[in-house]
Amino acid sequence: MLLQRFYHAGLAQASYLVGCQASGEAAVIDPNRNIDQYLDAAQRAGLRIVAVTETHIHADYVSGARELAQRAGARLFLSAMGPAEWQYAFAAADGATLLRDGDIITIGNVRIQAVHTPGHTPEHLSFLVTDGAAADEPMGVCSGDFVFVGDVGRPDLLERAAGIANTMEAGARQLFGSLQRFRTLPDYVQIWPGHGAGSACGKALGAVPQSTVGYEKRHGWAFAIGEEQAFVTAVLAGQPDPPPYFAQMKRINRDGPPLRPAGALVPLAISDLHPGRPDAPIIVDVRSSDAFAAGHVPGAINLPLENDFLTWAGWLLPYDRPLALIGSSDAARRARDELTLIGLDNVTGYWDAATILDQWQLAGHSVATLARRRAVELESAILHEDALVVDVRTATEFAEGHTPGAINIPLGQLVARRGELPEDRLVIITCQSGTRSPIAASVLEARGWTNLVEMRDGFEGWKLAGGPVAR
């Protein structure tokens, strides 16, 4: 048997290729939209993908299962569990095979058994994988968003992200029941989860790529709670705010993911640049925060092409407006490819960062800059003047310590809550270490705020400078 894990750091998402070398066949579990990686890996291993499946209707990325099955000429397997409103609407049209608890996908000598594990979502399946050439017992389980390393899937997303009322407590009780069934698996069974640290699909995911049933039963917090109501209370407490794009992903993945946009990214001309015009694309500058602060097109939003690029794109970019990028040709192409993973498909093109600012100025326009200052330089304005500090960290981070007089508006909520900010005072934007605050400052600047300063070393810099801490 062959098992290959694919991991996308920006989504903190794992998918798996399971193959039988004897038959030359393979299955893919939980593919994202970058389907070439699975086709290429199968070809290198001398395998043909004959089955594609997924553990559940995903909320954090557009599924690639439908497109991969079409490209590979493979059979698509989808969950038939859960209520009617969360069944796959496209299953019949695509000729998908519907899986119920106990059903088996056979790949040569490999058996992949569906196990209904509701809780994170009602239709959720896990897949027990048995290498029939070597044993008649399972080697591991692809647990999707059911059990992670050190954590379990959150049961509140249908209510908090998709707006389905009165589902999160019921989901938590289902999850407790699924865990009791999970406890009966042999301790040696490996756990191959669908997400790692950084995912919003849980609250305390570990960074280790896999675990075992025995280890999680011994050390996982969820397995230490034996009473249902205590588990319900614990699993619902402290879950991070779900990004608003999760609701969009649920709908897309339930109703039928479209084909990923193909073709080269189009270079745009200076005549295509109309910042601020209502019908113009939203300008997303993917350069570093330092480069953006030194000079940028007015009205652009700065989303540096780093590991958290998709997180903040999902929080801050709308699905009903076209987007256009500023960056190098390579960076713009990579950014477009990343955006399609969460369904932001309407990218009209890009301007090359090496030339667009000069062209903009030659056309008679001004280049905007963003003031960035270290915490020690801002101490007087914060403590003795009328500056307002806006801390864009999470509420939990803020509660653990912040600059005196600061208000807390998490970055993901900044667009919706920008009306809380005064326009007649200096606004100082801060976060923990200076990665979120430049994004936040660009968001406010794009919406008309001019009296802004970004604290480039964040609350960590404030503490190192000896500034007082409020709690």
When divided into structural domains, the chain yields a total of 3
Residue 455 lies in a domain: yes
Residue 470 lies in a domain: no
Query: Which residue, 255, 283, 316, sits at the end of a domain?
Result: 255
Helix and strand element counts for the chain (H, E): 16, 23
Query: Contact 31/52 with Cβ under 8 angstroms?
Result: yes
Residues 42 and 13 in one domain: yes
CA neighbor of 50 nearest in space, from 97, 89, 90, 5: 97
Residues 348 and 305 in one domain: yes
Residue 263 lies in a domain: no
What CATH number is given to the structural domain containing 300?
3.40.250.10
Contacts of 278 (CB under 8 A, 6+ apart): none
Residues 357 and 235 in one domain: no
Query: Which residue, 316, 343, 362, sits at the end of a domain?
Result: 362
Residue 260 lies in a domain: no
Tokens of 314: 């999902």
Residue 236 lies in a domain: yes
Residues 404 and 347 in one domain: no
Name the pairing type of β-strands 347-352 and 388-391: unpaired
Tokens of 325: 């990028």
Torsion, Cα 208 243 434 459, to 10 degrees, reads -90
SS3 77: strand
The residue range of the domain holding 414 is: 372-464
Q: What is the pLDDT along the chain (471 residues), one digit of tens a residue?
A: 999 999 999 999 999 999 999 999 999 999 999 999 999 999 999 999 999 999 999 999 999 999 999 999 999 999 999 998 889 999 999 999 999 999 999 999 999 999 999 999 999 999 999 999 999 999 999 999 999 999 999 999 989 988 888 899 999 999 999 999 999 999 999 999 999 998 988 888 999 999 999 999 999 999 999 999 999 999 999 998 888 899 999 999 999 999 999 889 999 999 999 998 889 999 999 999 999 999 999 999 999 999 899 999 999 999 999 999 999 999 999 999 999 999 999 999 999 999 999 999 999 999 999 999 999 999 999 999 889 999 999 999 999 999 999 999 999 999 999 999 988 899 999 999 999 999 999 999 999 999 999 999 999 999 999 999 999
Query: Contact 55/145 with Cβ under 8 angstroms?
Result: yes
Tokens of 188: 């040696």
Given this model, what pLDDT does residue 240 score?
87
Residues 315 and 407 in one domain: no
Residue 453 lies in a domain: yes
Give the integer Cα–Cα distance in Å for 188 and 63. 30
Residues 84 and 136 in one domain: yes
Query: Contact 406/390 with Cβ under 8 angstroms?
Result: yes
Residues 177 and 33 in one domain: yes
Torsion, Cα 457 460 465 468, to 10 degrees, reads 130
Catalytic entry in 20, 142, 201, 431: 431
DSSP single-letter state for residue 330: H
SS3 48: strand
Residues 76 and 157 in one domain: yes
Contacts of 413 (CB under 8 A, 6+ apart): 241
Is there a catalytic annotation at residue 142?
A: no
User: Is the pTM value of this prediction over 0.85?
Assistant: yes
Residue 265 lies in a domain: no
Residues 136 and 42 in one domain: yes
Given this model, what pLDDT does residue 367 score?
96
Residue 99 lies in a domain: yes
Residues 409 and 377 in one domain: yes
Residues 250 and 328 in one domain: no
Give the integer Cα–Cα distance in Å for 230 and 62. 34
Whose tokens are 């779900």? That residue is 242
Contacts of 17 (CB under 8 A, 6+ apart): 2, 3, 4, 6, 26, 27, 28, 38, 41, 42, 45, 47, 49
Torsion, Cα 107 109 110 115, to 10 degrees, reads 90
Residues 301 and 170 in one domain: no
Whose tokens are 């602060």? That residue is 293
What CATH number is given to the structural domain containing 95?
3.60.15.10
Give the integer Cα–Cα distance in Å for 141 and 128. 4
Query: Which residue, 362, 394, 421, sits at the end of a domain?
Result: 362
